[in-house]
């Protein structure tokens, strides 16, 4: 089975789970705040277990670590590039106030935790020869993304009110997923798999923890679906004058930034090998980050605009992601 076919199939399978979550949310089939419970379950339990168990089974060498560091800095560069592009479109679209800051964040931050990592995890199982180390590389990108999110990003949504110190902002970089990533790196460095593979109890334990971690993809999409169910579809399709900037922000995030990355990597001639390059492109091609809407609500910014942006970009992803990955395969 070709890579492009596997990618398209997995996108639709994940979106199918998202539709189940959307229906459950719209019909109130699940209790109130189910999305928050599922999100906490993913971020604090299943995703960390998925990261640790997948990294336990990986073999990383010095070149892989170097590529991961490169990926970290590429993430920072392209997230900041998204901010720079947003400033141009803010002037063109005449967007001001709280909406302008959310508009910028829509172009900067993608759904790298709830969509990209689950998708990469599935691809690593389906296509191990091309995506086998994808989960580890994805975490390097997430760390770069979060570095900007909890510095520049949080400053944007707080409207510079200074409620969080620099120390508090960087505390967000230490979370269950980053700790799991560090543990995974330690396991790789000490060769834990080769040391413990003969221990039957350890093997059973790792396999069971891997089973729990494999729930991440489906739970993540249930969360996305339930969250999107809170949006009134009527408000998305009406008032086009206000909504067209969301389409612009989505197309910059879903298409322009990842294709800029593809072009730069081509010009750099193998500076980043194909596997981490694919991870970079896929992560950049993700729809708007759900955390942006949560932060907008927390800091009394334009939460409605943020949530609608996530909805629109997630719908557009169905067409844009296969196209972007297909183009990247041809060029890279």
pLDDT of residue 262: 96
Q: What confidence score (pLDDT) does residue 235 get?
A: 62
Q: How far apart are CA 207 and CA 136, in angstroms?
A: 18
Going by C-beta distance under 8 Å and a sequence separation of 6 or more, which residues neighbour residue 202?
A: 196
Q: Would the pTM of this model clear 0.95, i.e. be above it? A: no
pLDDT of residue 140: 93
332 within a domain of the structure (yes/no): no
Residue 234 located in a structural domain: yes
Residue 269 lies in a domain: yes
Evaluate whether 52 touches 183 at the Cβ level (below 8 Å).
Answer: yes
What pLDDT sits at residue 292?
87
Q: What are phi and psi of 288, to 5 degrees?
A: -55, 140
Quick one: angle between helices 257-267 and 62-92, nearest 10?
130
Instruction: Give 260-268's long-range contacts (Cβ < 8 A, gap of 24+).
Output: 260/78, 260/81, 261/74, 261/78, 262/324, 262/327, 262/328, 262/331, 262/332, 263/331, 265/332, 266/331, 266/332
Dist. CA 220–CA 115, nearest whole Å: 7
CA-based nearest residue to 153, from 172, 180, 174, 139: 172
Q: How far apart are CA 52 and CA 40, in angstroms?
A: 18
Quote the CA–CA distance of 209 and 214 in Å, as a whole number.
9
Say how many domains are in the chain: 1
Specify if 193 maps to a domain.
yes
Question: Which residue segment(s) compose the domain that 141 sits in?
Answer: 3-327
pLDDT tens, per residue, the chain with 332 residues: 567 777 788 888 888 998 999 999 989 998 888 888 898 899 889 989 999 998 888 888 889 999 999 999 999 999 999 999 999 999 998 888 888 999 999 999 999 988 898 889 888 888 888 888 998 899 899 999 989 988 888 888 876 555 556 666 667 678 888 899 999 889 888 888 878 877 888 888 888 999 999 898 889 889 888 888 877 766 666 665 567 888 999 999 999 999 999 999 999 988 999 999 999 999 999 999 888 888 887 777 887 788 888 888 988 998 899 899 889 988 98
CATH number at residue 15: 1.20.1530.20
Measured CA to CA in angstroms, residue 91 lies from 44, 85, 246, 301, 324 at distances of 39, 10, 14, 19, 27
């Amino acid at each position: 089975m070709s890579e492009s076919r596997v990618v398209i199939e997995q996108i639709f399978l994940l979106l199918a789970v998202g539709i189940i979550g959307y229906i459950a949310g719209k019909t109130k089939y699940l209790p109130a705040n189910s999305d928050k419970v599922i999100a906490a379950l993913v971020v604090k339990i299943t995703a960390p277990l998925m990261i640790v168990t997948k990294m336990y089974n990986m073999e990383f060498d010095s070149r892989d670590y170097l590529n991961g560091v490169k990926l970290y800095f590429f993430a920072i560069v392209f997230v900041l590039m998204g901010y720079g592009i947003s400033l141009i479109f803010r002037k063109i679209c005449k967007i001001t106030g709280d909406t302008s800051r959310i508009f910028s964040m829509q172009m900067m931050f993608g759904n790298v935790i709830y969509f990209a990592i689950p998708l990469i995890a599935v691809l690593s199982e389906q296509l191990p020869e091309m995506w086998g180390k994808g989960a580890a590389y994805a975490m390097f990108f997430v760390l770069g993304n979060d570095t900007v999110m909890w510095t520049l990003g949080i400053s944007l949504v707080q409207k510079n009110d200074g409620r969080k110190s620099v120390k508090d902002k960087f505390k967000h970089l230490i979370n269950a997923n980053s700790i799991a990533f560090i543990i995974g790196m330690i396991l790789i460095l000490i060769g834990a798999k080769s040391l413990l593979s003969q221990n039957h109890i350890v093997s059973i334990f790792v396999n069971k923890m891997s089973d729990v971690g494999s729930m991440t993809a489906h739970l993540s999409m249930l969360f996305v679906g339930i969250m999107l169910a809170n949006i009134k579809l009527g408000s998305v399709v009406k008032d086009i004058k206000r909504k067209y900037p969301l389409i612009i922000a989505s197309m910059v995030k879903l298409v322009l930034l990842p294709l800029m990355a593809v072009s730069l990597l081509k010009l750099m001639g193998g500076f980043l090998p194909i596997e981490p390059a694919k991870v970079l492109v896929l992560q950049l091609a993700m729809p708007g980050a759900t955390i942006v809407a949560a932060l907008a609500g927390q800091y009394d910014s334009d939460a409605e605009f943020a949530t609608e942006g996530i909805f629109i970009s997630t719908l557009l992803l169905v067409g844009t992601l296969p196209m972007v990955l297909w183009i990247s395969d041809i060029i890279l």
